Amino acid sequence: MIGTEMLTAESIKKIRDQVVGYVIFIGIVLLVLWIVNVSKTGISSLGWTEFSSAEGGFQMRFPKAPQKKVVSGRMNDPRFQEATVFMAESGKTVFMAGYGDDFADTVRGFNISQRLDAAVEGAILNTQGVMRPISQKNIFLKGYSGREIDLAGSGVDGRMRIYLVGNRRFTLGVMGKNIRFNNTTSKFLDSFQLFEN
């Protein structure tokens, strides 16, 4: 009887050890599958942060909470006041969304295509020669005109979108290594939404 009770206690311990072993094994398999999935899709499968700018009049998703920076001083026009930019880094990739207002005489004196051309030229100049355009196409968002630009540089590339909404110019971009055609870039850029007036 004593031997049977001991055997039962040992059997229970063995079963418990096997169950724990299986649970650990399944946990490791699930972890490996998650890591493989993340490496295939980048950070797009991780949690993203909903972000909105009441002053800017837009909302979108960032891979993490962005930092706000106000750029002021002389830019393309000596009358330049300021632009607001929100940026977040994730790994070696930078995500940014910004806005600024064009002057009334610029809006009146130039058509949308000319304003987009100037905005693209200004965005490229702001890379200080690090990036060059390799393609661009016209795009639209809720009836507003825009331009998408693919950029390439030494070991880095990017995709930018510029939208004109009245006198406001929105500039979105993702810069990093091999980012132009990945799901993360599309997820970020496609999440941009204007507030309804």
Name the residue ranges covered by the structural domains of the chain.
Answer: 2-42, 47-194
> What average pLDDT does the segment 9-17 reach?
55
- Give the pLDDT band of residue 15 (cuts 50, 70, 90): low
Report the pLDDT value the prediction gives residue 9, as an integer from 0 to 100.
65
Residue-wise pLDDT for 72-124, tens only, equals: 765 555 566 678 999 999 888 899 999 988 888 888 889 999 999 988 888 88
Cα distances (Å, whole numbers) of residue 190 to 60, 89, 172 = 8, 18, 10
Which residue has better confidence, 3 or 170?
Answer: 170
130-142: pLDDT as tens digits: 888 999 999 999 9
Q: pTM higher than 0.85, yes or no?
A: no
Residue 50 has pLDDT above 80, yes or no: yes
Contact assessment for residue 100 and residue 169, using Cβ atoms and an 8 Å cutoff: yes
User: Does position 18 have pLDDT exceeding 70, yes or no?
Assistant: no
Q: What is the pLDDT of residue 78?
A: 58
Percent of the residues in the chain that have a pLDDT greater than 90, as a whole number: 40
From residue 164, give the alpha-carbon distance in Å to each of 16, 119, 158: 65, 9, 20
pLDDT at 124: 81
DSSP label at 47? -
* Band of residue 25 on the pLDDT scale cut at 50, 70, 90: very low
Sheet holding 82-90, edge to edge: 67-72, 82-90, 93-101, 168-176, 156-165, 144-153, 131-141
pLDDT at 33: 42
- Between CA 22 and CA 30, with CA 25 as vertex, the angle to 5 degrees is 125
Residues whose CB is less than 8 angstroms from the CB of residue 168 and which lie 6 or more positions away in sequence, other chains included? 57, 99, 100, 101, 102
Q: Residues 141-145: what's their mean pLDDT?
A: 94
In this model, does residue 31 exceed pLDDT 80? no
Identify which of 18-32, 34-48, 69-83 has the greatest average pLDDT. Answer: 69-83
Quickly state the pLDDT bin for 11 (edges 50, 70, 90).
low
**Would you state the pLDDT for residue 13?**
53
Rounded Cα distance, 28 and 152, in Å? 39
CATH level 3 topology of 47-194: Protein Transport Mog1p; Chain A (3.40.1000)
Give the H or E element holding residue 196. Answer: none
In 3-state terms, what secondary structure has residue 41? helix
Alpha helices in 74-177 (DSSP H): 104-109, 112-125
Q: Kindly state the percentage of the chain with pLDDT values over 70.
A: 70
Identify the CA nearest to 73 among candidates 100, 98, 54, 53.
Answer: 100
β-pair partners for 71? 83
Q: Are 162 and 170 in contact (CB under 8 A)?
A: yes
